[in-house]
Structure 1
Amino acid sequence: MALLRRLLPVNPWKALAIILAVLNLKSLPLVWHLRLLRSLFAHIRISRTRLKTLPGPSTLFQPLITSSRSSPYECDYNLHKSNSTYFSDFDLGRLGLLVSLCGKGIDITRTQLREEMPNDTSGFMTALGGVAVNFRREIKPFEKFEVWTRILTWDRKWIYVIGHFVKPGSVKPRRYVLQPWKNSKSEPEDHEVAGADKKVNVNSKPLIFATAISKYVWKKGRLTIPPERILRASQLLPPKAEDHETPPTSSTPQPEGNSVDAANSTSISLAEKVTPDNASEVLAASLAPKPDSSTWSWQRIEDERLRGMKIAEMYGGLEQLNGEFKGEDGIALARS
């Protein structure tokens, strides 16, 4: 053992510990917090870029992509990424998305509320109301994956965010709106691309590992801030019809058939038929790129919001699970 110590510059146990730490870097204590802070500051800068370029409503439903890899500590006894670890990766995507799109709007709304309610000293916060994940394929140890996170829809109280865990390369963006330096020189850099028939590098069936959905609410004390107010302050919504009013939760009207352009009609009709059996296919279809050859008018955004509400209402039905608690029976199997 003494000879081995002389031959090896580092204690073998220390070397093994260092190797394990490097292989599981994202799972070490406080690393998630550092990744979260890094994502926060990076997307604050991206948010400022968005306001300078002013792509406006055309970016509202576009995804933000975060990349990661499954570490050994994240894997369970089946040697694939444990189901509980999907939430931490989805956290980073959601934070980046909301900061990039709504960061400035949150600041503006907070200032307005302070002026409107000078006697109210309660804080302004963004609260997570729930998360659910639907698993489709396993993620193996050390396997890379991407999380495509985007806004799905909103009502008077909640804004719903959806995230797809996707195999890298199965879906490739044609361009990056807020990172033009990553775009191909052959692609235009303005926020509206000419030519609706332009080919897009997207597979017909992208390889999706899992799909997650969450809902957020903005609060100042006990006051709920409608998501539409935040989105409008973020310059993400065009002028709306004077007689329009965003319906409350679980009360979404059908979109008008003659107001939907041809590019969106297929997706809306599919969403109208969404059931628990085909929900995963509908979620996968949401990865399809949205045509950007025409302006995102208020009606077009409203049609897309209504399409997303069909899925969000199914997710909202999980609230009924709270009533299934049987603790009042006073009987349990065991305690561990």
Structure 2
Amino acid sequence: MNLWFRLIKALFMAMLRKPAQPFDTTVVKMRVWPNDLDLNLHVNNGRYFTMADVGRIDYILRSGVGKVALKHRALPIVAEATAKFRKELRLFERFEIHSRLVGWDDKWSYMEHRFVRKGRVAGVVFMRGFFKGAQGAIKPEDLAEYLGVPSMSPLLPEWVTIWAESCDGLTESIRLEESIAATQEQPVYASHS
């Protein structure tokens, strides 16, 4: 099934399903279709990220985050994402995407999308992002306040903090490369051969 059909279905179903609280886990049911597969005949690694978008849209619409975003004319922006693959998802298998807000820091909101089949976690997509509106980024604590939850995040797991620091390190490394390339008037990513 094409991503657009999945997205339209998620939008429609979110309107029919009961609202969720910001810390609830939302669940979207899916099936593996032929265009989800790679040459190994299981779900393509990149497809997990695309399907996580559908789970995230369902969460945003049902949790009230979408109303806040609409009020501020803000769009969700994913800055970084990582995945862990544990079990294969094969053709026509049914699975669920369990999406939840893990917490936030002063800049980013952190979300987890678990791909669950027969009660087992087949894979996880973890991301951090923010909402960007006409006035710039909406601070996560402001978003929490709009949603009526405490502005202080639940404690983030240690691995999330380490992952976030490594993402920041990569960003700084790229900025440094660009800065050096600009002073030397050469492409940022030149061949080293």
Name the TM-score, length of structure 1 as normaliser. Answer: 0.48
Please report how far the alpha carbon of residue 160 of structure 1 lies from its aligned counterpart in structure 2 after TM superposition.
0.8
Q: 1:100 to 1:138 in 2, by over 3 A?
A: same
Q: 1:250-269 deviations in whole A, cap 9, x for unaligned?
A: xxxxxxxxxxxxxxxxxxxx
Maintained 8 Å contact 2:80/2:167: no
What are the within-5 Å matches in structure 2 for residues 13-24 of structure 1? none
Matched residue type, 1:61: F
Q: How far apart, in 2, do the equivalents of 1:82 and 1:219 lie?
A: 30
**2:22 and 2:147 in contact (8 A); partners too:** no
Report if aligned partners of 1:105, 1:232 keep a CA contact under 8 Å in 2: no
Q: Distance in 1 between matches of 2:58 and 2:81?
A: 16
In the alignment, what sits opposite 1:223?
136
Q: CA deviation at 1:141?
A: 2.0
1:211-243 Cα distance to aligned partner (Å, 9 max, x none): 1111221223462211222222223x15x6xxx
Identity %: 23
Quick check: 1:331 aligned with 2:192?
A: yes
AA of the residue aligned to 1:331? H
Contact 2:105 2:140 in 1 (8 A): yes
1:313 corresponding residue in structure 2: 161
Quick one: which amino acid aligns to residue 62 of structure 2?
S
Work out whether residues 31 and 92 of structure 2, in 8 Å CA contact, stay in contact via their aligned partners in 1.
yes
Equivalence for 2:100: 150
Distance 1:60 1:220, change over 3 A: closer
Cα RMSD after superposing both structures: 2.6
Q: Are the aligned partners of 2:76 and 2:129 in contact in 1 as well (CA < 8 Å)?
A: yes
Cα distance in structure 2, aligned partners of 1:328 and 1:39: 39
Deviation, 1:83, is 0.8
Q: Which runs of 5+ in 2 are unaligned?
A: 178-186
**Out of 16, 24, 27, which is 1:65 matched to?**
27
Q: Partner amino acid for 1:318?
A: C
Query: What residue in structure 2 maps to residue 281 of structure 1?
Result: none
State the distance in 1 between where 2:53 and 2:86 align.
19
1:131 positional shift: 1.6
Q: Deviations over 1:146-199 (max 9, x none)?
A: 11111011112211110111113x2xxxxxxxxxxxxxxxxxxxxxxxxxxxxx
**SS at structure 2 position matched to 1:211:** strand
List gaps (5 residues or longer) in structure 1. 1-25, 111-122, 171-206, 241-245, 247-301
| Aligned partner of 1:90 among 48, 52, 57 | 52
Higher strand proportion:
2
SS for the counterpart of 2:40 is coil
Is the CA contact (8 Å cut-off) linking 1:39 and 1:96 kept in structure 2? yes
1:208 alignment counterpart = 121
Matched, 1:159 2:114: no
- 1:327 deviates by 5.7
Q: In 1, distance between residues paired with 2:159 and 2:57?
A: 21
| Pick aligned residue for 2:10 from 32, 36, 39 | 39
Matched, 1:104 2:67: yes
Q: Is 1:126 paired with 2:90? A: no
Partner amino acid for 1:124? A
Aligned partner of residue 97 in structure 1, secondary structure: helix
The TM-score with structure 2 as length reference comes to 0.78
**8 A contact 1:153–1:309 mirrored in 2:** no
2:33 touches 2:92 (CA, 8 Å); kept in 1? yes
Distance 2:48 2:38 in 1: 13
> What is the count of residue pairs matched by the alignment?
179
CA distance in 2, matches of 1:153, 1:60: 10
CA distance, structure 1, for counterparts of residue 106 and residue 43 of structure 2: 36
Q: Is the 8 A contact 2:69 2:131 kept in 1?
A: no
